[in-house]
Homo-oligomer: A and B are copies of this chain.
Amino acid sequence: MHQDRIRCPQLRDRIVDAETAAAHIKDGMTVGMSGFTKAGEAKAVPLALAKRAKTDPLKITLITGASLGHHMDQQLTEAGVLARRMPFQADPALRKAINRGDVMFIDQHLSETVEQLRAEQIHSVDVAIIEATAITENGGIVPTTSVGNSASFSILAEKVIIELNLSADPLWEGVHDIFIPTRRPARTPIPLVATDSRIGMPYIPIPPEKIVGIVLTNEPDSYSEILPPDEGTKAISDHLIRFFLSEVKKGHLTNELLPLQAGIGTIANSVMHGLIDSPFYNLKMYSEVLQDSTIQLFDSGKLLFASAAAVTLSEPVHKAFMENFETYRSKIVLRPQEVSNHPEVVRRLGIIGINTALEFDIYGNVNSTHVGGTHMMNGIGGSGDFARNGYLSIFVTKSLAKDGAISSVVPMVSHVDHTEHDVDILVTDQGLADLRGLAPRERAQTIIANCVHPDYREALLDYHERAKARGGHTPHILEEAVSWHTAFRDHKDMRKAFS
């Protein structure tokens, strides 16, 4: 059966076991691996590396598309294999190692990693490990459930190891659109002009000689662990739909809206889910990851087409999706993340970007990554690619966390990932703040009036009033600005800062 999937005859004798393939990876090397938000990561060779490290210690730099499934980052971390990791992760064990300073984590805009690799601004990839559905007649790699950075890793690496996943539906072939921007300074425009534009090839073109081993696997992706919509996410979604309706009424948008991007995770997924019961139609997505809500929007007839870098679904939605894959596959395309997130394309298409904030401040600066200003959660991911360049940059979060001990709206964020220049709309369960065209003092007024939980509203108003008395374009009381964070750190309750 696997012979049908290796259509390039000269590669049929390259099948090896994972340990043999892993032997190509030496201590100190940089490894580029497929995998984007739990979709399509290499599943066998990294485990062989982790196993080998127990008796033969080695340290590598691991670059992926984004986060990995099957607790891969945990196993590599526990085996001590990771010296450096980029550009994103979402694993509790790795997170701890990063925050201890044991693993050097380089947190990047997802569109930029391979741009830097191509320009040799960061260490080049020695070995690429890429999960594939098939290998074409000429040695091209057909990815599985994600493209991520797989194409550029394969093209730029000296050696490529393929993990041929026999559990991947052969119908994945044809879903991918592999386009790699030409080198600078002679780069030409990326010809993508609509979410459903196909501008590349259905496989990753590399010389077959570079493929040093093919490992057979048979394990599907792990499932996403997304939570269902709840009262809070429903409120956020309702506020946003009301806003879109008012924009339609003003003639700024039509009922088809503009191409939608939604960040990974429960809140953004729930917000998209809310569109099922909205009056909008003929929707399109131009996003990073297709989540449960994408499939549900297809099923509701609301969504026409979806472009992304990966598909990551929960178990029940995945089951239904694969059972009807034939009908879905003509409505989706998977692209390299430097295309799905490319500033040029995001700006051109006029994306409505919806991303999740950890916290934001009264002036609309957003922290997406650092708990308490110091401890990495997951990473900035693609939020910056979309927030900076989109038509509308929307950030969503619940107004409270930790049973009310944390307000997601604070006097000053403890870490900035998105500056006020890049934030148009903020939404919590409390309401929506439209910040377009407002100066900082006006932004504060709107944010405090609309987004803050009542338990914290007066304290924020009081802070802003006292700060304004000191003057400034962006008034602050510096010695108090992060006192809510230190109150939570020291007393497990932000409210201790003012009561």
Contacts and interface: CB of A to CB of B under 8 A. Distances in A.
Interface of A: 84, 86, 98-101, 104-109, 116, 119-123, 184-191, 193-194, 250-252, 258-259, 342-344, 347-350, 365, 370, 372-376, 380, 384, 388-389, 391-392, 414-419, 421, 424, 436-439, 441-442, 467-468, 470-476, 478-479, 481-482, 485-486, 489
A471 B421 contact: no
Contact of A481 (B365, B380, B482): B482
Given A107-B421, A184-B349, A99 B473 contact: yes
A107 B109 CA distance: 23
Contacts of A475: 101, 374
A342 B186 CA distance: 17
A152 to B, nearest CB: 15
A185 B260 CA distance: 12
Nearest to A117: B437
B191 A442 contact: no
A482 B476 CA distance: 12
13 contacts: A99-B472, A101-B441, A108-B421, A121-B424, A122-B436, A184-B350, A344-B348, A374-B475, A374-B478, A375-B471, A376-B473, A478-B482, A481-B482
Contacts of A98: 473
A280 to B, nearest CB: 14
B350 A187 contact: yes
B391 A348 contact: no
A344 B185 CA distance: 13
B120 A251 contact: yes
A470 B100 CA distance: 9
B185 A349 contact: yes
B417 A419 contact: yes
A122 to B, nearest CB: 4
Contacts of A190: 189
A107 B364 CA distance: 13
A442 B372 contact: no
B439 A106 contact: yes
B187 A101 contact: no
